[in-house]
Structure 1
Amino acid sequence: MALRHEDALNMLRAEISFVVHARIGCEASIVGALHKVQAGWREMKKNQPEKLDKPMRCTLILCLFQEILSRVERLPTDEKALAEFKARGWISEDLNFWPALAWDGEQKKLLPVKSSPGLPTAVLVDHLKAVIRHCTGDYALSRFHPVRPISDAMTGESVVFLLQVGLASDSAMKLGLHLRALCMNSALQLCGCSLKPDRVSLGDSGMCYLGWLSWLSDAGVDAGVGEEEWAELLWLEAPSILGLALPGAETIDVSEPTFPSESSEHGENIEPGSADSLAGYSPSPAASPVVRRGFNLHVSEELQLERPEPENASECLALRALRDRWLWEEDLLCLTEHLPSSTRNFQRSTQGDYWSCSFLTGAFIHGVAAGVMNNSRRFEKVTALLAAVLRSVAPTAWFTSAGISLNIRSGVHRDSNNASNIHNVLVPASDFENGELWLEDSTGAHEMEGFLGRLVPVSRPFISFNPRVRHATSSWQGNRLVLIGYHVRNSEMLSPMDKTELRRLGFRVYDGRRP
């Protein structure tokens, strides 16, 4: 169990923990400003606590990223800083690209890394604004504080800040995604900072486990354990000891943490009371497990994943997933923030504070007109990503078009422009309650808009249904995010060029064989 816990903690830390290195003594340093903000927050807490609307960790990170954004926007008019950044290669000559940086031990300086993706200016600004927007969300930020006290007169070259996002909230997932996109980007050097994921290392307990494994090996030989049995034990336990995950795991279950106290400065979960008494202890409710799910992507070999980097934030996120051949469900939710929403013929959801988004791409048929939607060209990487998800989940399905539906409730209808002999595919990409697919059925017990039907749970990995049968969306609770794959009718109306383009993006256009 200890081995498993070490492994689980390492994986969790790699997902939610970051480190900020802030230089001291340089002209661009943000440390002095953070100290003033920290002192002001403490003064207000002491004298006017009722005016505080956020904990210190949120106040500090807001100060940091608002200042970074401000300096990015002012850089074209700051001749000194602009000249320095161009000389170091930290920004392109046209001011439209910010590279990732890495420390060169021989030259003792940060250098651009051509093999790592940078960010176009428009995408960078989107990420910075998203961090500012989400860092104050519910349970989004668990920790942001320096490892040593900051002051007006600090010594040393830099100070380290520990940054940790929360779990089990939309804001936390989105904040983590945008922070990962900003890791090691040169723009943070405008404030003398660098951001990187917290490195998972082998702790003291891991070293003890290695010693234990060595002892066990000797004991196994003495006890006559065969090579096959010993190899199987190593296969099961060594990844945990070394801080790795066993290959092939597509679902990770972690325990939900106790949410930090909003009144604490750094997010530590400390309740008032003496050290030897439970008088001040307030137990948290039993936490339900958080299940992280993702898709192992089937990417078209014809798709070009090289540079240049996309200008749009959603395209940048999609490209990263395509390169990794992996997409987390919560990353797909974040991607919807930057997509245009077209909700024609649909009613927006009224599910509390949840928002709606509908996005379609691929082929279209309307009357005698047929072709490829503009979204397929404007959002090429997003289109390829949706096709890759559908092909990985339903590899034998035929589909010319794909869509994202986030908190969209459709009324009773038929898909008259879809092929009658090819079923639609519906892939759930979030956890929600109810939200079944209603299908017309004269023997069913559920009436909707005057028609009898039955409810079909939208279960993983996917469900399929006849598009010519009346169907609708039933009510739900939570964020209902689903992917849709469908095949247009009369696909022979598509030109050979359109079919070639669709197949390049990963769609499976029906070629006349029996579906």
Structure 2
Amino acid sequence: MSIPLMLLGNADCEDIEIISSAGEDDSPTGLVEESVGSYSRAVVMTGGLPNEPPFVYHGIYFAGARGLLPVEVDLKLEFLEQGIYLVRGVEVSQLPYPSDHAAEMLAFSMVSHGQVRWDQMLRLVKLLPCDANLRWAQSECHAEAPHRFTSGAWNRGPMTGLTITARGFPWATAVLASVVATWDEALNFSTCTLSLNVCAKPHRDRYNHGESRNLAMPMSRFFGGELYVEAEAGRTRLSEDGPWGHVLELSSPVSFTPKALHASMPWHGTRLLLLAFHIGQVRNLSERSRAGLQKLGFRLGFLE
């Protein structure tokens, strides 16, 4: 599937040099670092037509570029019951020209329509590359094999940066960030993960910011699969001598502190979640990385 250049770009579109390093880059947008999949170039859509509203770009109407209307705030739960999340606030003029990768084309369509269905999100995660490390050994008993895609900021000790996936899949990344930001308009987050049938063992997110909140959003219907979160007032233990905690159902999005012990409960069916979190060393991000994340729709906090 391809999109005619005349619809999105103009004669002034410019190429971005591809940089092979996995660290910080010198590109003005911080959106492309190296080739991903079958493509190795990206084009920034520079400038729009004169006097265009922000949700119209080069004559194309993007429902996902509009702000969230007051009436839509009250309808978010109704959309959720239908397996739909709204996509709003995407800065399409800041995104590179979409590649011909199927995941980017699907994400482009999501931004255009201003919403994502759960079945579309399942298709999207299958089209996107899997994280190299799933962190824990996974069961292969589910119909869909475990798969996880992470994009945004990364943090290892004092080192930080923009993930290769954020640069290689900007439209898909922008969709994930928009779904999170539209659902929770107050949440600060730097990174998103699509997690398909990945079981998280008991752990604490030591690299997340201590004052941040994690958000888990269901993207499919499944039986079980709740989230255990450590809490003194809880009534559930994962082991005889383990800490008490709450078991949070995932029929709707839930937030929790990343520093509490948490884990996945067993489930049946296909369990797809969109997870959002905030790295701890956000102040160590370069100005270009911060700008790149914000253009993709991430809401950075804790910078002061």
Q: TM-score, normalised by structure 2?
A: 0.70
Q: Cα offset for 1:428?
A: 1.0
Verify the 8 A CA contact 2:283 2:303 in the aligned structure 1.
Answer: no
Give the letter for the 1:317 counterpart: L
> Does residue 478 of the first structure (1) align with residue 272 of the second (2)?
no
**1:436 correspondence with 2:226:** yes
Q: What is the aligned partner in structure 1 of residue 113 from structure 2?
A: 324
- Kindly tell me: are residues 469 and 321 of structure 1, through their superposed partners in 2, closer, same or farther at Cα, counting changes over 3 Å? same
Q: CA deviation at 1:338?
A: 1.1
- The one of 134, 141, 150 equivalent to 1:360 is 150
* Alpha-carbon contact 1:347-1:410 (below 8 Å) kept: no
Answer yes or no: is 1:296 the counterpart of 2:83: no
Over 3 Å counting, the alpha-carbon distance change for 1:509 and 1:433 in structure 2 is: same
Is the counterpart of residue 508 in structure 1 residue 299 in structure 2?
yes
After superposition, give the CA deviation of every residue in 1:315-364 in whole Å (9 maximum; x if it has no partner). Answer: 11111111221111110000111111124312324443222211111111
SS for the counterpart of 1:446 is coil
- The 1:316/1:423 distance shift into structure 2, 3 A limit, reads same
Residue type matched to 1:476 in 2? W
Change (3 A) 1:304 1:493: closer
Find the residue that maps to 1:397 and give its secondary structure: coil
Q: Is the 8 A contact 2:216 2:276 kept in 1?
A: yes
Q: Secondary structure at the match of 2:179?
A: helix
| Contact 2:142/2:197 (<8 A) preserved | no
Q: Which residue of 2 aligns with 1:459?
A: 251
For residue 309 of structure 1, report the CA deviation from its aligned partner. 4.0
Shift in Å at residue 445 of structure 1? 3.4
Post-superposition CA distance 1:462-491 (Å, at most 9, x none): 211010011000011111111111111121
- Relative to structure 1, is the Cα distance of residues 411 and 115 closer, same or farther in structure 2, using a 3 angstrom cutoff? same
Corresponding letter in the other structure for 1:386: L
User: Which residue number corresponds to residue 311 of structure 1?
Assistant: 100
Q: Tell me how far apart the structure 2 counterparts of residues 344 and 408 of structure 1 sit (CA, whole Å).
A: 8
Deviation at 1:292, TM superposition (A): 3.5
What are the residue-to-residue correspondences of 1:184-199 with 2, within 5 Å?
none
Question: Are positions 1:489 and 2:280 aligned together?
Answer: yes
Structure 1 residues 401, 303: CA separation in 2 closer, same or farther (over 3 Å shift)? farther
Relative to structure 1, the CA distance from residue 302 to residue 381 in structure 2 (aligned partners, 3 Å threshold; closer, same or farther) is: closer
- Greater shift after overlay, 295-304 or 376-385? 295-304
Which structure would you say has the larger Rg?
1
Q: Does the Cα contact within 8 Å between 1:362 and 1:376 map onto a contact in 2? A: yes
CA contact (8 A) 2:90 2:111 kept: no
**Is the alpha carbon distance of 1:98 and 1:389 closer, same or farther for their aligned partners in structure 2, counting shifts above 3 Å?**
closer
Contact 2:226 2:248 in 1 (8 A): yes
1:475 partner letter:
P
Q: Separation in 1 of the partners of 2:209 and 2:238?
A: 24
User: Secondary structure of 1:411's partner?
Assistant: coil
Contact 2:2 2:100 in 1 (8 A): no
Q: CA deviation at 1:252?
A: 7.4
- Secondary structure of the corresponding residue to residue 447 of structure 1: coil
SS of match in other structure, 2:144: coil
Matches within 5 A, 1:101-180: 115=7
Shift of 1:454: 2.3
- Structure 2 partner of 1:422: 212
CA RMSD of aligned residues (A): 2.6
Structure 1 match to 2:63? none
Q: Of Structure 1 and Structure 2, which has the larger fraction of its residues in helix?
A: 1
8 Å Cα contact 2:143-2:270 kept in structure 1: no
Unaligned stretches of 5+ residues in structure 1:
1-96, 101-112, 117-246, 254-290
Structure-1 residue corresponding to 2:194: 404
Equivalent residues, number: 236
- Indicate how the Cα distance of structure 1 residues 352 and 502 shifts in structure 2: closer, same or farther if over 3 A, else same: closer
- Which is bigger in relative contact order (C-alpha 8 A, separation at least 6)? 2
> What is the rounded CA distance, in whole Å, between the counterparts of 1:352 and 1:482 in structure 2?
15
Residues 313 and 503 from structure 1, CA distance in 2 versus in 1: closer, same or farther, beyond 3 angstroms?
Answer: same
Conservation of the 8 A alpha-carbon contact between 2:225 and 2:264: yes
Task: Render the CA deviation track for 1:276-330: whole Å, top value 9, x for unaligned.
Answer: xxxxxxxxxxxxxxx6321111233364468x44121111111111122111111
Amino acid aligned to 1:352:
H
User: Partner of 1:459: helix, strand, or coil?
Assistant: coil
Residue type at the aligned position of 1:361: S
